[in-house]
A and B are shown apart, each in its own frame.
Chain A
């Protein structure tokens, strides 16, 4: 079975985002970019399934600018077999990405697509579900455990108030939650090896997908700042403060 793993290049999760003064967006010039953390977990899960013999090939795909190649190389260094870059300098919304992934899935015929549950830049949490809708496949979102048995994927999902387990008929879509696994680091020899693994270039046009945005960003602002607080010296003072604030009688 072939696994398809979409990955996204995003602002590194440790970097504090700065809103541009003109309100057009977040400043991404000269800041560290990395693979979306949830996508690292997706790549890791794919590799583990391959190591267990449940999968034969891992294809990673990214939609974005030429620099998204770096993200794909990272996935290849972790253990993916080959990569596809769908290159575009335009920002592509989850619906557009889902359509691109549908076209790739039609070509590649994967048994399972593993995505991150959300990208930490737009925080949409949509692409996996949208791809499931477009392919008509079952979806196991926010997965904390994935088991493959024959033509069924059993997925334990993190839900409000606990966990839920669903059985999906393959092919299917899984989106990863943080708890699914701990992604490995790519070793230096593997980083070197990844440079010679195949990376195909495509465009949304090649795939016949129209990625015209449906949402227009009118402005981006910083959230309102909190008023500076006070420090109290001891518990008595803290209790006093809580009383003034009406927390306790």
Chain B
């Protein structure tokens, strides 16, 4: 089964989210080709060609793809799918935006956020906010798959020497136009790829407490900073910090939940972390049911002390 994997990139650099998708595609058992769509993406293509296990890198370089709008990228993918049995995209906001559009144009059902490849046509995926795992079999001739990044190892970024081939650019999207982007600035590791994540919840009370308590602890541990929806909605931190069913799904080595009660929507985003540490003053908080290490205490006292003693 030859698979085409959509490369996640920001125009200048290949994003790590691509790597677990390559691993998942490799498990389908056939050749793995990558697609880089963008404008001026030579460097991304070079990086993609070095990924272990990749047979070929297709590059669609042109103005229609500069912002990777699904209205332009989906027809490009569909045009290439004659040669492929599967289209695989990372389950990032970009992958989730374009893959179902591809699936519908091919008249196939998409398999969303797969956790494992059980066979060439069967996969596991989470449903009900991760409270159940379904094994599903696709009867479609071509598969369209998005891959949950935390469920697969990252493919090695060295060792490959794939051939790079240009594909003809299609047309600019007539129905949609990019206006602007607003990027949250962060010096810390990216949330979805971090080994350690320190997350804060509503109990922090305000944004200043978030910066004065959560961030120093995160910096001491070299960790990424996350948040519960309550903390995001209250405006303590930007939206893209949110961990949960509707935010980011993380599975770091260590997840430290501070002042987070542990609603099922939050647990959906972090319960596959290897070690969960919870600090909460409510000893009945549901977070303690999944925490490996729990400390019942006032975060305003505990967190500064912890930061100091580390």
Contacts and interface: CB of A to CB of B under 8 A. Distances in A.
Residue picked from A129, A223, A232, most chain B C-beta under 10 Å: A129
Interface in B72-94: 74, 92-94
Nearest to A167: B177
A168 interface: yes
B74 A164 contact: no
Nearest to A222: B132
Nearest to A215: B136
Interface of B: 67, 69-71, 74, 92-94, 96-105, 107-113, 122, 126-140, 173-184, 192, 196, 221, 229, 232-233, 238-240, 245-246, 248, 253-254, 264-265, 271, 275-277, 279, 283, 288, 290-297, 302, 305-306, 309-310
A158 B113 CA distance: 18
A154 B283 CA distance: 46
B9 to A, nearest CB: 12
Contacts of B126: 123, 223
B94 A238 contact: no
Interface of A: 11, 13, 16-17, 19, 26, 93-95, 98, 117-118, 120-134, 136-142, 144, 154, 157-169, 172, 177-179, 213-223, 226-227, 229-239, 241-242, 245, 247-248
A162 B127 contact: no
Contacts of B108: 95, 214
Contact of A123 (B128, B180, B233, B302): B128
Nearest to B283: A231
Contacts of A219: 134-135
Given A130-B104, A237-B295, 4 more contacts: A163-B181, A214-B109, A216-B136, A229-B276
Q: Which of B100, B133, B232 has the most CB of A within 10 A?
A: B100
Given A162-B184, A248-B310, A133 B100 contact: yes
B242 to A, nearest CB: 9
Given A123-B129, A129-B101, A179-B239, A238 B295 contact: yes
Contacts of A141: 96-97
Contacts of B135: 217-221
A129 B279 CA distance: 40
Given A126-B110, A219-B134, A163 B295 contact: no
30 contacts: A13-B265, A17-B132, A125-B96, A126-B100, A129-B70, A130-B104, A131-B104, A133-B104, A133-B105, A139-B97, A158-B240, A164-B67, A165-B178, A166-B179, A167-B176, A169-B175, A178-B229, A178-B246, A179-B239, A215-B111, A215-B139, A218-B137, A221-B135, A222-B132, A223-B130, A223-B132, A232-B293, A234-B297, A241-B277, A245-B293
B292 A230 contact: yes
Contact of A160 (B92, B253, B294): B92
Given A162-B240, A165-B179, A124 B93 contact: no
B134 A230 contact: no
A167 B163 CA distance: 37
Nearest to B271: A226
A144 B271 CA distance: 26
A128 B310 CA distance: 47
A240 to B, nearest CB: 10
A139 B71 contact: yes
A213 B138 CA distance: 9
Given A158-B240, A214-B108, A168 B175 contact: yes
Nearest to B135: A218
Nearest to A212: B139
Contacts of B178: 164-166
Contacts of B253: 247
A223 B135 CA distance: 12
Nearest to A239: B309
A216 B100 contact: no
A130 B103 contact: yes
A162 B185 CA distance: 9
Contacts of A172: 175-176
B131 A16 contact: yes
B274 to A, nearest CB: 9
B15 to A, nearest CB: 9
A165 B110 CA distance: 26
Q: Report the 3 A-B pairs with minimum CB-CB distance, sorted nearest first.
A: A138-B175, A129-B100, A138-B176
A219 B101 CA distance: 27
B110 A94 contact: yes
A235 B132 contact: no
Contacts of A125: 96, 100, 112
A214 B100 contact: no
